[in-house]
Amino acid sequence: MAKMNLLQAINNALITAMTEDEKVMVFGEDVGHFGGVFRATSHLQEKFGKARCFNTPLTEQGIIGFANGLASQGSVPVAEIQFGDYIFPAFDQIVNETAKWRYRSGGQFDVGTLTIRTPYGGGIAGGHYHSQSPEAFFAHCPGLKIVMPRDPYQAKGLLLASIRDKNPVLFMEPKRLYRASVADVPEDDYELPLGKADVVQEGNDITLLGWGAQIEILQKAAAMALEDGVSCEIIDLRSILPWDVETVMSSVMKTGRLLINHEAPLTGGFASEIAASIQERCFLYLEAPIARVCGLDTPYPLAHEKEYMPDETKTYEAIKRTLHY
Amino acid sequence: MENRNHLAAVKTTNKVEIISNGVVDIPMLQILTAEGEVVNNAVEPELSKDEALKIYNTMEYIRVLDERMVGAQRQGRISFYLASTGEEAASVASAAALSKDDMIMSQYREQGALAYRGYTTEQFMNQMFSNKADPNKGRQMPIHYGDKPLNFMTISSPLGTQIPQASGYAYGQKMSGKDVVTICYFGEGAASEGDFHAGLNMAAVLHCPVIFFCRNNGYAISTPAEEQFAGDGIASRGLGYGIKTIRVDGNDPLAIYAATQEARRIAIEEKCPVLIEAMTYRLAAHSTSDDPTGYRSRDEEDKWRAKDPIARMAKWLESKGWFDEKENQKRVDKARQDVLAAMKSCEKTDVCAVEDIVEDVYDTPPWHLKEQLNDLKAHIKKYPQMYPKTAGRVK
DSSP codes of every residue in B258-283: HHHHHHHHHHHHHT--EEEEEE----
pLDDT in the model for residue A230 = 98
Q: What angle do CA A84, A90, A93 make, to 5 degrees?
A: 135
Q: Which of A31, A93, A98, A104 to mutate to test the interface with B (most CBs of B within 10 A)?
A: A104
Residue B286's pLDDT band, with cuts at 50, 70 and 90, is: very high
B286 catalytic? Reply is: yes
Distance CA A153, CA A136 (A): 24
B170 contact residues in A (CB cutoff 8 A):
69
Decide if pLDDT at B21 tops 70: no
Question: Which of B134, B205, B362 has its CB closest to that of A167?
Answer: B362
Element containing residue A239 per DSSP (H, E)? strand A239-241
Q: What is the pLDDT of residue B233?
A: 94
Dist CA A67 CA B169 (whole Å): 8
Per cent of chain A over pLDDT 90 is: 100
What domains lie within chain A, and their CATH numbers?
2-185 (3.40.50.970), 198-323 (3.40.50.920)
Residue A138 pairs in a beta bridge with none
- Assess whether pLDDT exceeds 90 at residue A210: yes
- Close Cβ partners of A212 (under 8 Å, ≥ 6 residues apart): A120, A121, A133, A148, A149, A150, A172, A174, A263
Report the pLDDT value the prediction gives residue B22, as an integer from 0 to 100: 59
pLDDT for residue B2 is more than 60 = no
Residue A78 contacts B, CB cutoff 8 Å: no
Nearest to B88 by CA among B119, B118, B109, B67: B109
CB < 8 Å to B171, chain A: 66, 69-70, 75
Beta carbons within 10 angstroms of residue B364's beta carbon? 12
Q: How many helices (H) and strands (E) does chain B have?
A: 12, 8
Q: Which of A29, A80, A130, A233 is catalytic?
A: A130
Residue A69 to residue B198, Cβ atoms within 8 A: no
Put simply, the answer to whether A110 touches B134 (Cβ < 8 Å) is no
The residue annotated as part of the active site, out of A60, A135, A173, A216, is: A60
CA pair distance A314, A307, nearest whole angstrom? 10
Residue A256: left if φ>0, alpha if ψ -120 to 50, beta else—which one?
Answer: left
Q: If you average pLDDT over every residue of chain B, what do you get?
A: 95
> What per-residue confidence (pLDDT) applies to B362?
98
CA distance A16 to chain B (A): 20
Mutate to test the interface with A, among B123, B165, B241, B361 (most CBs of A within 10 A): B165
Instruction: Find out whether A24 and A17 touch, Cβ atoms under 8 Å.
Output: yes
Sheet with A53-55: list strands edge to edge: A53-55, A24-28, A76-80, A115-120, A169-174, A145-147, A239-241
Mean pLDDT of chain A: 98
With the CA atoms of B321, B323, B326 and B332 taken in that order, what torsion angle do they form, in degrees rounded to the nearest 10? 180
ipTM above 0.95, yes or no: yes
- Burial pattern A210-224, b for ≥16 Cβ within 10 A else e, equals bbbbbbbbbbebbeb
Minimum-distance CB partner of B175 among A51, A93, A101: A51
The tens digit of pLDDT for each residue in A98-128 reads: 999 999 999 999 999 999 999 999 999 999 9
- In what helix (H) or strand (E) does residue A219 lie, and over which residues does it extend? helix A214-227
What's the pTM? 0.97
- Cα dihedral B26→B28→B29→B34 (10° resolution): -170
Question: Taking CB atoms and an 8 Å limit, are A242 and B147 in contact across chains?
Answer: no
pLDDT surpasses 80 at A318: yes
Residues B161, A92: C-beta atoms closer than 8 Å: yes
Q: Count contacts between A and B (CB, < 8 Å).
A: 158
pLDDT at B4: 52
Query: What pLDDT score was predicted for residue B11?
Result: 80
Decide if B61 contacts B85 (C-beta within 8 A): no
B26-76 pLDDT tens trace: 999 999 999 999 999 999 999 999 999 999 999 999 999 999 999 999 999
CA-nearest residue of chain B to A107?
A: B360
CA separation for the pair B173, B211 (Å, rounded): 13
Using an 8 Å CB-CB cutoff, list chain A residues near B164: 61-62, 64-66, 68-69, 93
Give CA separation, A89 vs A66, A301, B141, B163, B199, in Å: 13, 22, 26, 15, 14
Task: Answer whether A84's CB lies under 8 Å from A122's CB.
Answer: no
Task: Give the pLDDT confidence of A122-176 residue by residue, as tens digits.
Answer: 999 999 999 999 999 999 999 999 999 999 999 999 999 999 999 999 999 999 9
Residue B343: predicted pLDDT: 97
**Torsion region of A265: left, alpha or beta (phi above 0 gives left; psi -120 to 50 gives alpha):** beta
In chain B, the domains with their CATH numbers are: 28-346 (3.40.50.970), 354-393 (no CATH)
Tell me the per-residue pLDDT of B221-268, one tens digit each, with 9 for 90 and over.
999 999 999 999 999 999 999 999 999 999 999 999 999 999 999 999
Number of C-beta neighbours around residue B16 at 10 A:
5
Question: Which residue in B74, B265, B295, B393 is the catalytic one?
Answer: B295
Residue contact B194–A61, C-beta within 8 A: yes
Using CA atoms, how far apart are residues A143 and B123, in angstroms rounded to an integer? 27
Give the C-alpha separation, A307 to A290, whole Å. 22
For residue B324, which amino acid is it? D
Instruction: Verify whether residue A130 is a known catalytic residue.
Output: yes
* Torsion, CA A291, CA A294, CA A297, CA A300, rounded to 10: 170
CB contact under 8 A, B173 and A143: no
Q: How many CA atoms lie within 13 A of A37 on its CB side?
A: 10
Q: Which of A25, A65, A107 sits opposite B359 (nearest CB)?
A: A107
Using only C-alpha atoms, chain A has a radius of gyration, in whole angstroms, of 19
Average pLDDT, stretch A298-319? 97
CB A224 within 8 A of CB A318: no
> Does residue A29 belong to the interface with chain B, where contact is any CB pair within 8 Å?
no
Q: Are the C-beta atoms of residues A145 and A170 closer than 8 Å to each other?
A: yes
Q: Can you list the alpha helix ranges (DSSP code H) found in chain B?
A: 49-74, 88-96, 111-117, 121-128, 162-176, 194-205, 235-240, 253-270, 298-305, 309-320, 325-346, 367-382
Q: Tell me what percent of the residues of chain A surpass a pLDDT of 70.
A: 100
Q: How would you classify residue A208: left for phi > 0, otherwise alpha for psi between -120 and 50, otherwise beta?
A: beta
* Distance in angstroms between the alpha carbons of the first and the last residue of chain A: 45
CA distances from B60 to A180, B63, B64, B249 (A): 67, 5, 6, 19
Report the DSSP pairing between strands B219-220 and B223-224.
antiparallel
Residues 182-201 of A with CB under 8 A from B: 195
| pLDDT at residue B206 greater than cutoff 60 | yes
| Residue in chain B nearest A113 by alpha carbon | B363
Burial B235-244 (b: 16+ CB within 10 A, else e): bbbbbebebb
